[in-house]
Chain A
Amino acid sequence: MTIQAVHDNEADSAGRAWRFGTKTTIYLLLILWAIICLFPIYWTITTSFKMAPAVMKGALIPWIDYDPAWLGWRSLGLSPETITASSTVRDEFMKRFMNSVIVSVVSSALAVMLGSLAAYGLSRFSYRFGFMKNSDILFFFLSQLILPPVVLALPFLLLYRELALLDTRIGLILLYTLSVLPIVIWIMRDQFSSIPSDLEEAALMDGLSIWGAFFRVILPIALPGMVAAFILSLVLTWNEYFFASLLTSTNANTLPVMVASQTGSQGIAWWSMAALSLAAILPLIVIGIGLERYLIKGMTAGAVK
């Protein structure tokens, strides 16, 4: 009996081996997919420090396969030696970068503002605009999501031409706000419906107006949802390419347009393209790592009830 208690019986050890096998498989698969996800980023980082021979060789590991150089970053004017000197390429890059920042931040903020108000109103009051009731209004907002950008693109191109809004940041901001608004409403509706309306009732008893109750009581509670909506909008608008390439030409180009305009050129300078791509995606990588919690919150809104 005692001997048997020390030894595992056969079924147990088989079970343990099986469990060990599953564990290993799980980790192998996880690592495999992590490599699939991260390798392109790694490749771009290393390529931005390569020189022509290293690129031709397809070198993988810096310092072992090749000696890192600042070539790519120098061509952008962002390497240590050139960062202090004036550089037209860097000015160009910074201009595009600032365009991207302004357009994506302003349009996301605008969308969160308009969308939160609308979602709050729809979650608390009943409306009637003509034949449309609350559910119809909500459906109207959300149905904008299926509107493909290409349908709006050419009419907007012509309207903007008449309104002198082509190649302006305001023009882009308006369109981007429109394109992320349904997503914001989707997230914020989920957020507001999880807040009990007793809270405002109490606030209203205390003599606040509806808007006062909204700003003082509800907004602080709903803030995480708003941050989530903002971050998700930021990702979508930062990466948007289709409208930007159609509606801008010289002044209001965003970063994706700049990256795209370089790819077609003959005799690709791999190192500088890598540096440019990396600079374009870096802000979002930082956001993705730092604010992952909010991103996930935004994406899962309304998915699980």
Chain B
Amino acid sequence: MSQGDLLHVVTEDDISDSRRMFGHGIVWASALLLAGIAIAQYAQVSGYADFGFQTWRPTLYAYILWSVCLCWSKVLIYGEHGKRVLFVLPAALFVVSLTVFPLLFGLIIAFSNWNLASPLGRQFNGLDNVRQMWADPFYWNALLNMVWYTLAIFVEYAIAFGLALLLNADIKARKFFRVAFLLPLMLSPVAVSWMIGKSMLEIRFGPIARLARWLGWETPSFFGSPEIARLIIMMLDAWTFIPFMMIMILAGLQAIPKDLTEAARVDGAGPWKTFWEIVFPLMLPVSITAVMIRIIFKLKLADIVINLTAGGPGGATDTVTSFIFREYRDRSNVGYGTMLAMFYLVLIVIFMTILMKLADRFSRPRT
């Protein structure tokens, strides 16, 4: 991305000193108000004084007021230039206040023993949660499962590429097929886990079980053994998300100039050779983007697992998210759950950074 304004705006702002003073004034005044209310509320929570606050809402309102004043003051102080800042500032404030604060707060929670059901409240317990995590086989098992689930993306990618090639072929009713292939993406994972996982995979009369029996599997059981259960979850997740990769790859295929494949054909290359030597290398950047985004979504996988197997049998299908979900649901243990989540976040950040570095190297055009 180029640095420097693409849009040159010549402005002759004549900002009076009093206007500038007012701009600074409202920011500081609202900040003081915010600090005042926050301190008062903290005092009440700690038991030093009673101001009659029911919730922390007043602090929230003061924070919103401060944010508005901050945005307004930019225009007051910097004039036209400040108006440009207004494009980005609201979104930035929104994201910072909704991620950075909760993450910092989460760090505090992660190092404490906090059971919502117990009356003791939050107690700092140092590294106890880390030690507990280290010795928790179910958590490591869930992490290992995430590796399997992520590896399944390669199969999904192959299928998606195949489907995109089919859709890109010279076919009739392309629009119908495209819409039909896209539909699974629209369905909510919860509904899918019922429609397919509970209803179609029902052992006695579900159509897939009947198909399995017809194919010679006498006693189909889909969630009995760990391997098959994991496979089913993978397949359900693949079913919903293959369309996403397929559409991206299809867009990539359609962007390949026809002359290139024509030229290869004239030079006597068969379809197989054309694909591997021309189409596939050209598709590499799109493929990498698609797979990366897919990995990001895969790492959030939870809804299907929560609703279908609840992690079973024996944690074989657990994802990190569904494991923490149950940890909270069953034991209301927020401290430990947050520690697990934070550790997961660290792993993801490391993993994605390495992946992006690798992708950057691979997608650079080879000359």
Contacts and interface: CB of A to CB of B under 8 A. Distances in A.
Most chain B beta carbons < 10 A, residue from A44, A56, A270:
A44
Given A30-B171, A33-B181, A150 B320 contact: yes
Given A37-B184, A44-B199, A256-B189, 7 more contacts: A34-B181, A146-B348, A150-B344, A154-B109, A155-B105, A211-B83, A277-B191
Interface string B57-70: 10010000000000
Given A27-B171, A151-B344, A239-B189, A117 B88 contact: yes
| Interface size class, chain A | 35 or more
A295 interface: yes
A263 B3 contact: no
A30 B243 CA distance: 13
Contacts of B101: 159
A221 interface: no
By Cβ-Cβ distance, the 10 closest A-B pairs, closest first, are A121-B87, A239-B188, A118-B91, A58-B205, A300-B251, A155-B106, A155-B102, A284-B186, A288-B186, A256-B190
A114 B91 contact: yes
A256 B179 contact: no
A152 B189 contact: no
B152 interface: no
Interface stretch (B5-13, B17-25, B133-141, B218-226): B5-13
A304 interface: yes
B257 to A, nearest CB: 12
Contact of A304 (B8, B103, B196, B255): B255
Contact of B180 (A38, A57, A134, A242): A38
B173 to A, nearest CB: 9
B210 A303 contact: no
Nearest to B327: A154
B87 A117 contact: yes
A69 B197 CA distance: 24
A151 B90 CA distance: 23
A265 to B, nearest CB: 11
B163 interface: yes
Given A281-B191, A284-B186, A300-B251, A125 B321 contact: no
Interface of B is mostly: helix
A71 interface: no
Contacts of A295: 182
A278 to B, nearest CB: 8
B180 to A, nearest CB: 5
Contacts of B178: 292, 296
Nearest to B83: A210
A121 B102 contact: no
A287 B87 CA distance: 30
Contacts of A83: none
B191 A210 contact: no
Interface in B130-172: 162-163, 166-167, 169, 171
Contacts of B255: 304
A274 B199 contact: yes
B31 interface: no
A218 to B, nearest CB: 10
6 contacts: A26-B171, A37-B181, A117-B90, A125-B87, A239-B189, A281-B188
B43 to A, nearest CB: 15
Interface stretch (A4-12, A86-94, A175-183): A175-183
A164 B4 CA distance: 44
Interface in B1-55: 1, 3-9, 54-55
B290 A303 contact: yes
A227 interface: no
Contact of B7 (A141, A200, A245): A200
A158 interface: yes
Interface in B264-305: 285-286, 289-290, 293, 296, 299-300, 302-303
A300 B206 contact: no
B311 interface: no
A181 B95 contact: yes
A41 B328 contact: no
B231 interface: no
A37 B188 contact: no
B263 to A, nearest CB: 20
Contacts of B352: 146
Interface string A32-57: 01101111110110010000000111
A29 B7 contact: no
B76 interface: no
A126 interface: yes
A299 B247 CA distance: 7
Given A115-B91, A155-B106, A164-B55, A296 B251 contact: yes
Contacts of A30: 166-167, 171, 177
A264 B247 CA distance: 34
A183 to B, nearest CB: 9
Given A154-B334, A274-B199, A241 B300 contact: no
